[in-house]
Chain A
């Protein structure tokens, strides 16, 4: 239950973690039962399930984001977030 899974991802899309991207991430994170927190260079420990929290990271292109998930399905959650980031939030080509 208290397994902690960590992942480190770099924002690769041009616009960075803009509002739409942040909301996509928060929506994805909300599907998982585990607690997920994100840390960027300036902000640490924001809740991945809240759009406001994710927006606070101000993740521009090239920013490294640390994902930490704790609880059920943590591994899948971290993997899915990694995929979403690598996939440029499903937006740009």
Chain B
């Protein structure tokens, strides 16, 4: 229900939110749901909460084996289940359904409902009555179970994703989702504006709604009210879509890197080598983090653009800093080697998966070897 985030802080962000739920009513009404679902009975229970992103095929529960049935999960009665129930005698069918509905289920969906619910048979009557008595919504979907389940899963993944709110600006720079983070007044919005002027795209200013897609994707989007807007001190609130057009905005982006803007401090040690791999935690998911000191006259937008290019390189299996130091190591040890990439993993890796280091340049795209300054392969140049 409540979204939790934090203000401008350098602490661990986005405490895990208590397991939220969404009401059955909101699922039925959701425009994102790709299949048509109708409520057939049990309307009184439409405010029951679905708390899990995965459905359950009720299966053996109908035969009285209730182990593992989770009332917070949507129960699906597919052809297997309905054929079993319609094959039972009237009392047996009633008993099975009554005991099933006694479990306080959030809702029950009958798939391929056209045939089995269309004719007013024992099954159709009984299940409706049981649903009404238990005040459990009974939903009908004409589609096959497989399709229904995919649609429901997609919707629940979206709506039940753990959320947090982060104070910062999210921009899409060369398709790299870059979250600019830092204290008020460090010039986050100004840098974002400069990036937009260079053709990059604004996702969210100031308030970034984050949701996590396990195992390690974090998406950011703007709060509805603030969509397409950017606040710049001295100018006020700007509508980026009106000023720059649709190519300057984007509604959602995966966050690939977090850039911390900090006031330049002579005592502070910054990463001078590019070997550090720090992580910014959002709801337990680590995102690579860079800390960049801000000084007057420093062209932050260019630095961030380069940071994005560097991220793209890393994503394609290149780690420029590690490759450089690999070569340096090779030179120091006096070994002749094109690919002395035996650098140990960088310190400071906290949890999470780190992009696999390029073990070797074999298999890298053409042109990659041009970066190797100590090898000139004339055949490769042609």
Bound-state Cα–Cα, A47 to B4, Å: 12
> Does A63 make an interface contact (CB < 8 A)?
no
Instruction: Take A45-B6, A45-B7 as given contacts and tell me if A58 and B165 are in contact as well, using a CB distance cutoff of 8 Å.
Output: no
A79: shortest Cβ distance to chain B, in Å?
Answer: 18
Nearest opposing residue in chain B for A38, CB measure = B7
Asked if A52 and B7 sit within 8 Å, CB to CB, the answer is: no
State the 3 A-B residue pairs at the shortest beta-carbon distance, nearest first.
Answer: A37-B7, A52-B206, A49-B184
Most chain A beta-carbon contacts within 10 A, residue among B165, B184, B229: B184
Instruction: Flag B210-251 by CB within 8 Å of A: 1 or 0 each.
Output: 000000000000010110010100000100000000000000
Instruction: Take A45-B165, A58-B225 as given contacts and tell me if A52 and B9 are in contact as well, using a CB distance cutoff of 8 Å.
Output: no
Contacting residues, chain A, for B225 (C-beta < 8 A): 55-56, 58
> Does B65 make an interface contact (CB < 8 A)?
no
Instruction: Take A30-B184, A55-B225 as given contacts and tell me if A46 and B207 are in contact as well, using a CB distance cutoff of 8 Å.
Output: yes
> Does B30 make an interface contact (CB < 8 A)?
no
| Pick from B3, B4, B9, B167: contact of A53, CB under 8 Å | B167
Bound-state Cα–Cα, A9 to B42, Å: 42
> Does A50 make an interface contact (CB < 8 A)?
yes
Instruction: Flag A40-80 by CB within 8 Å of B: 1 or 0 each.
Output: 00011111111111011010000000001010000000000
> Does B104 make an interface contact (CB < 8 A)?
no
Bound-state Cα–Cα, A7 to B73, Å: 39
Q: Is the interface of A mostly helix, strand, loop or mixed?
A: mixed
Asked if A36 and B7 sit within 8 Å, CB to CB, the answer is: yes
A sample of 21 cross-chain residue pairs with beta-carbon separation below 8 angstroms, ordered by A number, consists of A30-B184, A35-B8, A36-B7, A43-B223, A44-B5, A45-B6, A45-B7, A45-B165, A46-B7, A47-B206, A47-B207, A49-B184, A52-B206, A52-B226, A52-B229, A53-B167, A53-B206, A55-B225, A56-B225, A68-B7, A70-B9
Bound-state Cα–Cα, A15 to B8, Å: 28
Asked if A35 and B207 sit within 8 Å, CB to CB, the answer is: no
Contacting residues, chain A, for B9 (C-beta < 8 A): 35, 70
Asked if A44 and B4 sit within 8 Å, CB to CB, the answer is: yes
Number of interface residues of B (CB under 8 A): 21
> Does B91 make an interface contact (CB < 8 A)?
no
Contacting residues, chain A, for B5 (C-beta < 8 A): 44-46
Q: Which of B265-313 contact A (CB under 8 A)?
A: none
Q: Which of B248-270 contact A (CB under 8 A)?
A: none
Contacting residues, chain A, for B205 (C-beta < 8 A): 52
Contacting residues, chain B, for A45 (C-beta < 8 A): 3-7, 165
A42: shortest Cβ distance to chain B, in Å?
Answer: 9
| Pick from A30, A48, A56, A70: contact of B226, CB under 8 Å | A56
Number of interface residues of A (CB under 8 A): 21
Nearest opposing residue in chain B for A51, CB measure = B231
Bound-state Cα–Cα, A53 to B206, Å: 7
Asked if A50 and B237 sit within 8 Å, CB to CB, the answer is: no
Asked if B2 and A50 sit within 8 Å, CB to CB, the answer is: no
B5: shortest Cβ distance to chain A, in Å?
Answer: 4
- Chain A interfacial positions (CB closer than 8 Å to B): 19, 30, 35-37, 43-53, 55-56, 58, 68, 70
Asked if A50 and B6 sit within 8 Å, CB to CB, the answer is: no
> Does B185 make an interface contact (CB < 8 A)?
yes
Bound-state Cα–Cα, A19 to B206, Å: 16
| Pick from B4, B184, B185, B226: contact of A55, CB under 8 Å | B226
Asked if A49 and B165 sit within 8 Å, CB to CB, the answer is: no
| Pick from B4, B6, B185, B207: contact of A56, CB under 8 Å | B207
Contacting residues, chain A, for B2 (C-beta < 8 A): 44
Contacting residues, chain A, for B184 (C-beta < 8 A): 30, 47, 49-50
Q: Which of B29-59 contact A (CB under 8 A)?
A: none
Asked if A52 and B237 sit within 8 Å, CB to CB, the answer is: yes
Asked if A56 and B223 sit within 8 Å, CB to CB, the answer is: yes
Bound-state Cα–Cα, A52 to B184, Å: 12
Contacting residues, chain A, for B6 (C-beta < 8 A): 37, 45
Contacting residues, chain A, for B167 (C-beta < 8 A): 47, 50, 53
Contacting residues, chain B, for A44 (C-beta < 8 A): 2-5, 165
